[in-house]
Structure 1
Amino acid sequence: MNERTIFNSAVSAIALNALYKTSQDSGRAAPHERLVGLEHYQPERQLVCGARLIPYQGHWLLRNLCTLPHCRGQRLASQLLQQLQQLHDCQPLYTLPLPELDAFYLSNGFQPLSDNDLPAALLPVLRQSRRRHKGIQAMVSCQRLR
């Protein structure tokens, strides 16, 4: 991260929903979710990249990783994923990316996961996601970053 970008493990729902709206992302933060992001502090404090972590019976599902359009191409989403992987210290972090994002997640330490290996609590979410978007593949990240 550069000197003006700070990881925030407790982003407000208002800030994350504003980021989603500005980015035309369909995600919406809810009170029971853990909201994380990267904030720029110069010239003013602004959430530039964020995501939702949703608890499912002891498992974490990463949803709606999003970067402001004018901040894309700066590897902010990759930086946020690195922070999350460090924070979770090899606890599995699951995601259900759109097919066009598979390469991005693969390049950031996620691995494809068969439906049989996905925790049962996440299977209904996978089925619902596949009804909306064809070709979704569950992925998991579990690595120690030093």
Structure 2
Amino acid sequence: MNLNKTKVVYFSPTGTTKKTLCEIAKASGMNAPEYVDITLPAGRKRSLTLSNDALLVIGVPVYMGRVPALLGDWLNRIEADNTPAICVVVYGNRAYENALLELKDIVQSRGCIPVAGAAFVGEHSFSSPETPTAQGRPDQNDLA
């Protein structure tokens, strides 16, 4: 397998999924990855087409143990051709339940070959000074 390009795709309303995926791309030594931000609706207007010489690194936050439902239509329009994929979910220090398996199943059904998966802790979107939940995560230790 000769990989010539990398697409790093993320949905990151609070910035933690983006931060995590950017660090994965940096640490892996990927050569000039293309970043695809699908956080805002405008980012989901274009579909994603991938060849077998690309690597897909895709990450989403976990909502109630699942891949965010509002991404369903976009994710199910991905067109891949035996494209290796790294699936990443970021959860708010509660549980990621089936989100990683769900993301893997979706990209696999679209023509990707999942080669790795990971779940990372990120600050919970409901975290506040009164009820801190994974505040400041991912932190420097997480990123290292």
TM superposition score category, shorter chain reference:
0.3 to 0.5
What TM-score, normalized to structure 2? 0.35
More contact order relative to length (CA 8 Å, sep ≥ 6): 2
Higher helix share: 1
